[in-house]
Amino acid sequence: MDDDALRREIAEKLKSGLKTEVWPRAETSEQVNEVVARLQSEAGDNLEKKLVIAGFTDHVIEADGIEQPCETCMYYKVHARFCELPELMLPVEPDWSCRLWRI
């Protein structure tokens, strides 16, 4: 499946109400490590589990007064519209969000 098709599949899952772990956001390094470890041990290559554990949303989430869109995340590759966090490696949209967002 190419990135555009996979991005559409993810969009469809999120739109149809897939319940993801949006909160708590991973704010401390311990929380980041915990979520990343779960992605490695529980999700692997399973797309839905990646989306659930990372807390994907198809809209921007604001935490502590800061908007957290993929667009401003350090893992986001602008031209490819792609998340390069090693445990995710997924095509995304700029206005999506996940709890591993980081500047």
The footprint of ligand SF4 (CB under 6 A) covers 70, 73, 75-76, 83, 85, 88, 92, 96-98, 100-101
Question: Residue 45: exposed, middle, or buried by beta-carbon count in 10 A (0-12, 13-18, 19+)?
Answer: exposed
Least gap, CB of 94 to ligand SF4 (angstroms): 9
Q: Using alpha carbons, list the distances in angstroms from residue 102 to 4, 5, 29, 32, 82.
A: 24, 26, 11, 10, 15
Least gap, CB of 91 to ligand SF4 (angstroms): 10
Q: Which is nearer to ligand SF4, 5 or 71 (CB)?
A: 71
